[in-house]
Chain A
Amino acid sequence: ETGVTQSPTHLIKTRGQQVTLRCSSQSGHNTVSWYQQALGQGPQFIFQYYREEENGRGNFPPRFSGLQFPNYSSELNVNALELDDSALYLCASSREPSTDTQYFGPGTRLTVL
Chain B
Amino acid sequence: DAKTTQPPSMDCAEGRAANLPCNHSTISGNEYVYWYRQIHSQGPQYIIHGLKNNETNEMASLIITEDRKSSTLILPHATLRDTAVYYCIVRVQPGGSNYKLTFGKGTLLTVNP
| Residue pair A48, B43 in contact (C-beta under 8 Å) | no
A interface footprint on B83-113 (CB within 8 Å = 1, 0 otherwise): 0000100001111111111111110000000
| Residue pair A98, B97 in contact (C-beta under 8 Å) | yes
Question: Once bound together, how far apart are the Cα atoms of A58 and B1, in whole Å?
Answer: 14
- The segment out of B10-18, B20-28, B44-52, B67-75 that lies at the interface is B44-52
Question: Which of B34, B36, B106 is most buried by chain A, counting CB atoms within 10 A of its CB?
Answer: B36
Interface residue A101 (Cβ < 8 Å from any Cβ of B): yes
Name the distance in Å between A31's Cβ and chain B's nearest Cβ. 8
Interface residue A105 (Cβ < 8 Å from any Cβ of B): yes
Name the distance in Å between A20's Cβ and chain B's nearest Cβ. 19
Residue of B nearest to A44 (CB): B103
If the complex has contacts A41-B105, A42-B87, are A101 and B46 also in contact, measured as CB distance less than 8 A? Answer: yes
Report the interface size class on chain B: 20 to 34
| Residue pair A99, B100 in contact (C-beta under 8 Å) | no
| Residue pair B94, A90 in contact (C-beta under 8 Å) | no
Which residues of B, 23-64, contact A by the 8 Å Cβ criterion? Answer: 34, 36, 41-46, 49
| Residue pair B101, A99 in contact (C-beta under 8 Å) | no
Question: Once bound together, how far apart are the Cα atoms of A45 and B46, in whole Å?
Answer: 16
| Residue pair B43, A102 in contact (C-beta under 8 Å) | no
Residues of A near B99 (CB, < 8 A) are 33, 48, 55-56, 97-98
In the complex, besides A33-B101, A48-B99, A98-B94, 17 extra interface pairs with C-beta distance below 8 angstroms are A35-B101, A42-B103, A42-B106, A48-B100, A56-B99, A58-B100, A92-B43, A97-B99, A98-B93, A98-B99, A99-B93, A99-B95, A101-B34, A102-B46, A103-B46, A104-B44, A107-B43
